[in-house]
Chains A and B, each alone.
Chain A
């Protein structure tokens, strides 16, 4: 009796054993397939083109090599707390070249000038300018994409700050001491291009507010230059084209740059998500190592495809695409409203329940709505760019006619296709010719306090009254030059 019971139990146990075996075999097969697919499937961008374009790599690597060839900037001896080196240096430099100074009062600026006069530095800066020219010809987006694809070798954002400042310094040196206007403008174009690239990297990365200040330097230097010199129309036209096409005069596009949405959504998704052909796909975590989404994260380093096994935890491509579309729609509306309206749009995106979702993975910073700070900075940049475009045209007009025009309409069509509007109010700029050789250019209405009081604008009030032509050229006395 007991034996029969035992046998019965054993038989039942054996039957369960086979069921378990089948279950586990199926599970292992399923998991093996799952792991294989996750391990081997690249993002859509890689799938379409498994190796980066030689052009992209050449341009990106040349730029990288040129920046790295720049000799290290000496630590300032006079102001150790405010170096003009890569970190947080912009404020001091701008303070220096903005107001009156003398070699005695600002020995650090003497150091800076001596630095850009070195032949090795000049060679490196020439390479940077050439590389950025090449990059612009290849298309900024291509180069930036190449940078994203090769993040392990790509520069950290702050590495671009030093060449940016050095280029701005050299531009001043070139047009004040060497009368090389074309060279100065080329330097400033390169510096502006680098500053824009900075934003793109940073907006996907953790975010670093120092760059607002630093990237302001080449803009400020360009504004000074066009008021100190009469620019030949050809050079002015080239610069205007650069500002309009390679940078942007659109608030929406500029803020998009700052928010990481500078490019086509499809491209952005292709870089990090697979594509199943029906508009969906999963996050390839191993490809997202260039996105620094948290503080304390080390420099971008390749990640194993093992991480892709966890991608089901995060939102899929379709969900992300919907979020991006919402973002872009908001961005597109920014050019049709004034500053206050734009700020309301931006703030509205970050309301509770709509913004930060951890399930967006490393891209949660991009999908968490446009940071109002980015909006403010981008807006201020566009205001300055539009003003500089007008000032370039005015300078070219004066170069040909010997005096500034009576109205801005005189600039069209010879110097400008159309006069850009004041971004703040979407109205024409306030322009008054004080004398044949001086003018007052400003916003149509007094700037909003909130916008005006942000520090990037405070030191760059483009009306001529706040600009001091006599602030001093960057010129060091001979006895200092010899040191």
Chain B
């Protein structure tokens, strides 16, 4: 009796279906206290916040913004009377209850003083409206970060809601930074304030990302739906075809389109810190060097690992820029430089990291078509493609060093100065050449990402 050939089934079961968290909805009256655990354990609490009502999200959002601006305005308003002169009055000693009232009173007083007519009132509400609409637009950028495989409308609204909740991070900024600044007075230099605010921004971003780490909605959406087997090359439906056969449309082997053919990269499979480093190197090498990397990598699994990989790359780029640019900055006594040399290096690193993250968000929105495509699957490819950014950053830094060395060859006693004032033709020419590899790599990386996305367009695994 001959064994019948294995047939491609009508549907393939969902790959790695996420089990939603049981939602524990936060009542709007408890929204403000709920921010404390949310800030401490954003990943654990975020799913419950997303499942809570819009009233709760807006209560926290409005209160956070008011508290922040109030904390900022209160010393400014009092500062009119508590100046630095000998005759200035000193601030009052507030009780705990008065401390709570103080920022809101500052908000009201400020608006009361500023809004003198209906036109100004109209402008104020217009600005508020634009900012709030901006929040809804900005939430689009979170789609690739938050995609759990649910329906896109639900995903988008979850992004908006969690973005509103994330403004709770303004509370510690207002409550801590400004009083500390007030307390330290002149001792708190602008450099430290800038670094503190940069640190806060980083923390806020991590909270924002982690808030969407778990999902507490219904199990509806691409993640939980059975998938029709398709040819990964042309999208032809393979249902009923023998596994050993070929696609009638493009001739590609059916076995090449089986879900199990795709595997997690080394970084996603790693379980221990030592494995992470090796896995990171292996994954980076694979993403850069393996021509068929996108054809073999699983895009329906390992989303979180892919996201972490991308952030590690961004952090590495920031670190490289911070260390690599350190000798470039002029000495501290130069007037036009606002910060000291180490701080400037740190600023360069933070800027590079932010650029990398911004690229991820913007590109993520682009490749997922504002969430209209299967966001989770497509962004996995995007995240692994950030390996190319690392190469671009390395080549750019090498180019900058080359310019630096060439510059010192001509001006051995001067500090580094971008060659725009003197030697403009020769140095610009050299600079253009030494930066060329980075530029070319950047352009090539665009095509590479595009190709990788095409390779995973009909991915089954």
Residue positions of A touching B, CB distance < 8 A = 206, 285, 292-299, 301, 303, 307, 310, 313-314, 347, 350-359, 361-362, 364-365, 368-369, 371-373
B80 within 8 A of A: yes
Please give, as numbers and ranges, the residues of chain A lying within 8 Å of B2 by CB-CB distance: none
CA distance A97 to B14 in the complex (A): 96
CA distance A162 to B161 in the complex (A): 59
Candidates B74, B80, B106, B108; contact of A295 at CB < 8 Å: B80
Number of A-B contacts (CB under 8 A): 98
Please give, as numbers and ranges, the residues of chain A lying within 8 Å of B93 by CB-CB distance: 352-354
B81 within 8 A of A: yes
Interface of chain A, main secondary structure: loop
Residue of B89, B113, B117 with most chain A CB atoms under a 10 A cut-off = B89
Interface residues of B in 59-106 (CB under 8 A from A): 74, 77-78, 80-82, 86-94, 98, 101-102, 104-106
Interface readout for B234-247 with A: 1 if CB under 8 Å, 0 if not?
00000000000000
Find out whether the CB atom of B82 lies under 8 angstroms from the CB atom of A293.
no
Candidates A297, A299, A351, A361; contact of B114 at CB < 8 Å: A297
Q: Taking A294-B113, A297-B114, A368-B81 as contacts, is the C-beta distance between A355 and B105 under 8 angstroms?
A: no
Residue positions of B touching A, CB distance < 8 A = 74, 77-78, 80-82, 86-94, 98, 101-102, 104-106, 108-110, 112-114, 116-117
Ranked nearest first, the 3 interchain pairs of A and B with the lowest CB-CB distance are A353-B93, A355-B89, A298-B116
**How close is A93's CB to chain B, nearest CB, in angstroms?**
27
Please give, as numbers and ranges, the residues of chain A lying within 8 Å of B114 by CB-CB distance: 296-298
Given A297-B113, A356-B81, 4 further pairs, Cβ under 8 A? A310-B104, A352-B90, A354-B93, A355-B90
CA distance A355 to B81 in the complex (A): 9
Please give, as numbers and ranges, the residues of chain B lying within 8 Å of A358 by CB-CB distance: 74, 77-78, 102, 105-106, 109
Find out whether the CB atom of A303 lies under 8 angstroms from the CB atom of B112.
yes
Residue of A285, A307, A362, A368 with most chain B CB atoms under a 10 A cut-off = A368
CA distance A364 to B113 in the complex (A): 13
Find out whether the CB atom of A293 lies under 8 angstroms from the CB atom of B90.
no
Find out whether the CB atom of A364 lies under 8 angstroms from the CB atom of B81.
yes
Find out whether the CB atom of B112 lies under 8 angstroms from the CB atom of A353.
no
Q: Taking A295-B80, A303-B112, A307-B108 as contacts, is the C-beta distance between A350 and B90 under 8 angstroms?
A: yes
Please give, as numbers and ranges, the residues of chain A lying within 8 Å of B92 by CB-CB distance: 353-357, 359
Find out whether the CB atom of B112 lies under 8 angstroms from the CB atom of A307.
yes
Please give, as numbers and ranges, the residues of chain B lying within 8 Å of A307 by CB-CB distance: 108, 112
CA distance A294 to B80 in the complex (A): 7
Please give, as numbers and ranges, the residues of chain A lying within 8 Å of B91 by CB-CB distance: 352-353, 355-357
**How close is A265's CB to chain B, nearest CB, in angstroms?**
19
Candidates B90, B106, B108, B110; contact of A353 at CB < 8 Å: B90
Please give, as numbers and ranges, the residues of chain B lying within 8 Å of A310 by CB-CB distance: 104-105, 108
Please give, as numbers and ranges, the residues of chain A lying within 8 Å of B81 by CB-CB distance: 355-356, 364-365, 368
**How close is A365's CB to chain B, nearest CB, in angstroms?**
6
Q: Taking A355-B92, A357-B92, A358-B78 as contacts, is the C-beta distance between A285 and B116 under 8 angstroms?
A: no
**How close is A355's CB to chain B, nearest CB, in angstroms?**
4
CA distance A307 to B105 in the complex (A): 12
Closest to B100 in A: A313
CA distance A109 to B114 in the complex (A): 40
CA distance A294 to B75 in the complex (A): 12
Please give, as numbers and ranges, the residues of chain A lying within 8 Å of B90 by CB-CB distance: 350-356
Please give, as numbers and ranges, the residues of chain A lying within 8 Å of B110 by CB-CB distance: 294
Find out whether the CB atom of A359 lies under 8 angstroms from the CB atom of B98.
yes
Please give, as numbers and ranges, the residues of chain A lying within 8 Å of B104 by CB-CB distance: 310, 313
Find out whether the CB atom of A356 lies under 8 angstroms from the CB atom of B78.
yes
CA distance A356 to B98 in the complex (A): 13
Candidates A298, A301, A373; contact of B87 at CB < 8 Å: A373
**How close is A26's CB to chain B, nearest CB, in angstroms?**
14
**How close is B85's CB to chain A, nearest CB, in angstroms?**
9
